[in-house]
Homo-oligomer: A and B are copies of this chain.
């Protein structure tokens, strides 16, 4: 290591770029190996492993660089939003079990949209009230609103690594769906808040934010669906695989990325757009390509997503030891601890304030459908899963409180530093106890929520053209639409999908059965 730094000193600009990349790639490889070896560990998961390795590497770098810096790559929120986030979200859409998402659509939207608003309100007003008690001054109203959205953005990656899609499908789809909608909502809300030029928040401000939010949400979704369908149509028309499977795969990858960038260019929410592009590409485009392309795209998207996630957690671990930010914040140790503690408390409060009421509301709405009741144990797991803060929080904090990765003044440094600490501690602590808690609350085998979720097998290209028992019974018409609105909509969609969409955009054609499933 010392040798590397000696070389670094003697080289020009070229080596300055080469060293951090080399070290980072080497550490990424290490994470993969350690993650593999710890796969069957009861406590650890990949996120925690990456954070711990990041901390250790940070310490080593801090030591070899003579205590000047603990990280080799400057965190750049552009890097995060332009290169790391798109593959993660696209893959989430691409590999989503669409049926479960569709069935729990209303509940997910409640948690993901209303929940973020509730949580933002509580954290904003709570920090406004609590921060001055720890002699933390100097933040503007917009900063407090920013803090509210930053700490309302959950990171459910950790929990999803633990939850089993087949053992607890309801819980999985709720946590997963909420995670995506929450990411999108908090980023959209953050951007809406960033645009506010007022120093006072009143009723019209709230209406303006909600209006902006609805506009962004609907246009982003429409763009994502449009790009997904365009890709599917192009792949079907041209059938690139005739000449080259490589080109086919490249088109899918590039179009996925293009949809994100286009959305960002039009100032919409790239996250929502690319999520829906992913859903529609897996629903239609995936059926218009060769078998090799299917296997490859499935693995490529998953791999890029996994590398991006590991990259982020590694960084969070390294950043925790960033001495400069610690020094820049002028708060005493106890005041810092107070700010940190109040944020952790507000996060818990903000989450508890909507999980239980909204679960009750969701159960009330679903009372006639006879299924999908969220038990109290489920609610506790949903509360727990949403306590973890992750990369989106870090990226948003850097966006609002730093200029090119460096905070401008002590209050900003305090917020950035505390965000890092909250992300680190929540990931490690809540992450560590997720598996034990899950085993205590929902012991495997006794879980009777298990539905007909056939194991997704990549080697069966038309895996989802089989009918599922559940959706087959749901063909009822107007009476159903009133009684069980989501199920009825699903059933209507299936007919539409089968009769029109699939014939235009591709997908498994049904010869033997009339009702096809909106495949998982």
Contact = CB atoms under 8 A, between A and B. Distances in A.
Given A22-B265, A292-B295, A300-B300, A250 B17 contact: no
B78 A306 contact: no
Interface in A4-54: 4, 7, 13-15, 17-19, 21-22, 25-26, 28-29, 32-33, 35-37, 39
A78 B14 contact: yes
A429 interface: no
Contacts of A300: 249, 296, 299-300, 303
A315 B231 CA distance: 25
A265 B7 contact: yes
A365 interface: no
Interface stretch (A237-245, A278-286, A434-442, A444-452): A237-245
Interface string A52-89: 00000000000000000000000000100010000000
A25 B261 contact: yes
B292 A28 contact: no
Contacts of A307: 250, 253-254
Interface centre among A14, A15, A293 (most CB of B within 10 A): A14
A244 B36 contact: yes
Contacts of A37: 238
Given A264-B18, A265-B19, A295-B295, A36 B247 contact: yes
Nearest to A238: B36
A254 B29 contact: yes
A361 interface: no
B18 A265 contact: yes
A209 interface: no
A36 B243 contact: yes
A454 interface: no
A302 interface: yes
Nearest to A254: B29
A246 interface: yes
A232 to B, nearest CB: 14
B245 A32 contact: no
Interface in A145-184: none
A257 interface: yes
Contact of A25 (B78, B240, B243, B258): B258
Given A22-B258, A25-B261, A296-B299, 15 more contacts: A14-B264, A18-B261, A18-B265, A21-B82, A22-B265, A28-B254, A36-B240, A36-B244, A39-B243, A245-B299, A247-B306, A249-B299, A253-B303, A292-B458, A296-B303
The 8 A-B pairs at the shortest CB distance, nearest first, are namely: A22-B261, A296-B299, A39-B243, A25-B258, A246-B302, A296-B296, A22-B265, A249-B303
12 contacts: A13-B78, A17-B78, A17-B82, A21-B261, A28-B254, A29-B255, A32-B254, A33-B234, A36-B244, A246-B302, A249-B303, A296-B299
